[in-house]
Amino acid sequence: MGIDPYGLVVGNWKMKIPGLILFMTLSSIAFGQNAESLRLTYKGLKQAYKGHYEKALKYFNAAVVADTNDREALFNRGVVLTDLEKYQAGLRDFLKAKSKGADDAEIYYNLGVAYYGLNRHEHAILNYRKAIELDSKNIDYHINLGAALGEIEKYREAI
C-alpha cells in the first residue's frame, strides 16, 4: 500500500475546522477582514468539511472576489483545488496567501502538496522541510517529505 500525500490534506479539514473558524473570527475583528469574505469562507469550510469540494470552491471563489487580500480564503481555496487535483491553480493560491502573511507551516506543507502533484518533487521537498522547520511535530509533514524523497530515489533520506 502506497502513501497518498493528497489524502492527508483532506484529513486536515476535520482537524482544523473549529480552530480555523475561531481564528478567522478573531482575525477578522482584529484586522478588519471583509465581513462578506468571512461569511463566504465559513460557508466554504462547512462544505469542504462535508467533502463537497466543488460547492466549497464556489464559496471560496466568491470570498476571494469579495476581498482579494483575504489570506484565509486564498489558502482554503488552494486546499480545495489541490483536493480536486487542480495543482497549478492551488499552487497559485498558496503563493498568493504566503505573500500576504507571516511564515506558516500549513502554507509550506500545502505548497509541498501542490508541487508534489505537479511532479516537481525538489520544490515539494524544500517546502515540506520548511514546514517541518516551523512545526516539527506534525507527522503529515514528515510522511509527505518521505514520499517526495522516495519519488526521486533518495531512500536513505526518506527513512
Give burial (CB, 10 Å; 0-12/13-18/19+) of 6: middle
Q: Which of 37, 97, 86 is nearest to 61 (CA)?
A: 37
60, 41 contact by CB (below 8 A)? yes
pLDDT in tens, 87-143: 999 999 999 999 998 789 999 999 999 999 999 999 999 999 999 999 999 999 999
pLDDT score, position 12: 46
Residue 14 Cα to chain centre, angstroms: 13
Residue 66 pLDDT exceeds 80? yes
Q: Kindly list the distances between the CA atom of residue 126 and the CA atoms of 21, 24, 25, 60, 116, in Å, as whole numbers in the listed order.
A: 29, 28, 32, 27, 11
State the Cα–Cα distance between residues 50 and 45, nearest whole angstrom.
Answer: 9
pLDDT score, position 139: 95
pLDDT score, position 114: 98
Give the 3-state secondary structure of 58-125: HHHHHHHHHCCCCHHHHHHHHHHHHHCCCHHHHHHHHHHHHHCCCCCHHHHHHHHHHHHHCCCHHHHH
State the Cα–Cα distance between residues 57 and 68, nearest whole angstrom.
Answer: 15
Q: What is the pTM of this model?
A: 0.79
